[in-house]
Structures are given as C-alpha cells and as structure tokens.
C-alpha cells in the first residue's frame, strides 16, 4: 500500500525558519475545536507529544480523526519549537496479527519487590542515563525496568501520568503523558511508592514530588484504574495517574487492556530490543 499524504500543509516543512522535526507514531486523539480557539491539540503516542493544528483547517482535522479511528501509523512533521503540525503522511496499515510475543488473558498476579532506600538509590545510580536526544519516555522506562529485573531481580511497576485536555490547553503543554518505573521502598513499616525517573530526578522520588515536576500549577493527580477513565474525564482534573506492572510498555497496552482484556504477563524480548534501540545510545552493545 502506498503512503497517503494528508492535508495541504505537508510541504510546509520546507519553509525557511521552521525548526522542523519528524516523528513516526500513532495518533491517539484529536481535540474538538472550542469557541474562540485558534488551534486544536492532537495527541501522538510517540514521545507523548501534543501537536497543534489550525482550528480552521477542517479537512486536515477530519483526516487526522480518520487516522485515529483506523488506528493508522503516521509520520508527522512539526515545528519543534511550538509543536505546530506542518504535515502528516499516512503509512501502511499494521495489523494486530503482526505483533510478536505471547499475550495472556489470565488474571494478573504481580507482587512488586520492596526495597530499602539505600538499595533503591544504588539501583537508580546504576540505571543507564545515556539516552538519545529523541528517546521516548515509554522506551526508556521499558529498558530500565528490564534492567532492574535482569540485573537486580527487582519486580518494578510503571507509573503513567496523563495530562488532560484541560491542562494541555491552559498551559499549552507539549506532552499528554509520561511514564517511568516505580518501586516500593520500606519506610516506617510501610511500603511507599518511589519513582525511578533518571531523566528528570536524581534518585528515587516520592510520587507527589515527581508529579509536581510536570504540573506547572502543582495540581494533584488523582489515581484511576483504567485508561478509559482518563479518556472520558478530560475536564474534571488536570492530570491522572495509572499504575501498571513492569511489562506494560505504553498507553497502547493500557488501552488494549480496557478494550480487549489483553494483559501483559511477561517480557516481549522483541519489544525490549526495540525500546533499547530507540532510547539508548549504546543499544548495539547494550551494557548499562
């Protein structure tokens, strides 16, 4: 199947002065134009980026919405400075059958490892921070989680923070989600969640301190159990948290858990290799 060009702005990347960037990704949601709004947010899975489209370009918005409904992979060209979408190319269809790995539908039975704070800091310090400039957060997190398991036998969690349309619009925020590994740390006879986000912190970080790094208004991020709850409640809060075991790589996995009951119960080594290749500089001879 040939690539299909969407929208009249596809050649705008050639205009001098635009700091163009390119991303191959899957579009997750296209916002609906609101009264008095000049631009509409478009959420891309890759990098968790939020891109912006002229609200008057109904043809492009319609085409983007169709790409979402067909679950198509696209290549987007955008202005890196402000996230404005310049052009989109619709790529070949990838069917669900082409995914590799064994996926189970049994009930999850996952018990996170509980560490002491010194062990957590030691593991954090050993995590590979040599990431590529364009690395995607879910690939970094997946590589780190796999390393923690294979090197230290730590069964970690993933913590997803989802930024709502309300927050993205009010602050013109460039991401719609972020994810990092999370461990439990024994503190005063309790197990306390600590985020292991090498890209943005210096050590195991308490949940509220971690979310405050991203929330310009220091808004609390309530927890929800499903991806659908986040998607259906875009105005009630500024952000939401979803916890998952270490095998869940991206929001797509959370979505499939909701829509198809597909649970992630083990490592898909093809996905681990793909994550390392995209995220880490030394992926050819990986040695964190």
* Domain identity same for 39 and 138: no
What is the domain extent for residue 30? 4-90
Residue 196 near residue 209, CB atoms below 8 Å? no
Question: pLDDT-based confidence at 3, cuts 50/70/90?
Answer: very low
* Domain identity same for 161 and 256: yes
Confidence (pTM):
0.78
Residue 165 near residue 234, CB atoms below 8 Å? yes
* Domain identity same for 245 and 184: yes
Q: Name the domain boundary from 57, 90, 123.
A: 90
Q: Is the pLDDT of residue 11 over 70?
A: no
pLDDT in tens, 146-203: 999 999 999 999 999 999 999 999 999 999 999 999 999 998 878 999 999 999 999 9
* Domain identity same for 124 and 77: no
Which range is least confidently modeled, 62-66, 209-213, 242-246, 253-257? Answer: 62-66
Better-scored residue on pLDDT, 11 or 259: 259
* Domain identity same for 139 and 73: no
pLDDT for 36: 78
* Domain identity same for 57 and 124: no
* Domain identity same for 66 and 209: no
pLDDT in tens, 66-119: 888 887 778 777 887 888 887 777 665 433 332 333 323 233 578 899 999 999
Indicate left, alpha or beta for 263 from its phi (over 0: left) and psi (-120 to 50: alpha).
beta
Q: Is residue 103 part of a domain?
A: no
* Domain identity same for 159 and 248: yes
Q: Is residue 268 part of a domain?
A: yes
Q: Is residue 256 part of a domain?
A: yes
Better-scored residue on pLDDT, 40 or 71: 40
Q: Is the pLDDT of residue 269 over 70?
A: yes
Q: What is the CATH number for 85? A: 2.40.50.340
* Domain identity same for 138 and 240: yes
Number of domains forming the structure of the chain: 2
Q: Name the domain boundary from 74, 90, 106.
A: 90
Which range is least confidently modeled, 25-29, 229-233, 260-264? Answer: 25-29
Q: What is the CATH number for 216? A: 3.10.620
Q: Is residue 104 part of a domain?
A: no
């Amino acid at each position: 199947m040939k690539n299909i060009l969407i929208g009249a702005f596809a050649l705008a990347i050639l205009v001098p002065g635009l700091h163009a960037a390119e991303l191959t990704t899957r579009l997750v949601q296209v916002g609906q134009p609101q009264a008095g709004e000049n631009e509409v947010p478009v959420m891309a899975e890759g990098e968790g980026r939020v891109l912006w489209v002229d609200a008057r370009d109904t043809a492009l918005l319609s085409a983007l919405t169709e790409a979402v409904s067909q679950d198509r992979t696209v290549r987007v060209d955008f202005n890196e400075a402000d996230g404005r979408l310049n052009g989109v190319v619709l790529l070949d269809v990838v069917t669900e059958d082409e995914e590799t790995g064994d996926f189970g539908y049994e009930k999850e039975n996952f018990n996170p490892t509980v560490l002491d704070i010194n062990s957590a800091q030691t593991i954090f310090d050993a995590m590979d921070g040599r990431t590529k400039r364009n690395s995607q957060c879910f690939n970094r997190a997946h590589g780190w989680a796999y390393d923690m398991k294979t090197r230290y036998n730590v069964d970690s969690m993933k913590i997803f923070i989802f930024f709502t349309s309300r927050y993205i619009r009010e602050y013109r925020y460039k991401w719609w989600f972020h994810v990092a590994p999370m461990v439990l740390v024994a503190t005063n006879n309790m197990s306390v969640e600590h985020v292991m986000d090498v890209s943005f912190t210096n050590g195991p970080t308490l949940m509220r301190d971690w979310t405050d790094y991203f929330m310009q208004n220091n808004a609390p991020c309530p927890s929800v159990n499903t991806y659908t709850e986040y998607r259906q409640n875009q105005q009630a809060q500024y952000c939401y948290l979803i916890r998952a075991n270490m095998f869940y790589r991206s929001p797509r996995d959370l979505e499939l858990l909701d829509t198809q009951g597909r649970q992630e119960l083990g490592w898909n080594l093809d996905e681990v290799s793909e994550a390392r290749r995209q995220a880490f500089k030394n992926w050819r001879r990986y040695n964190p």
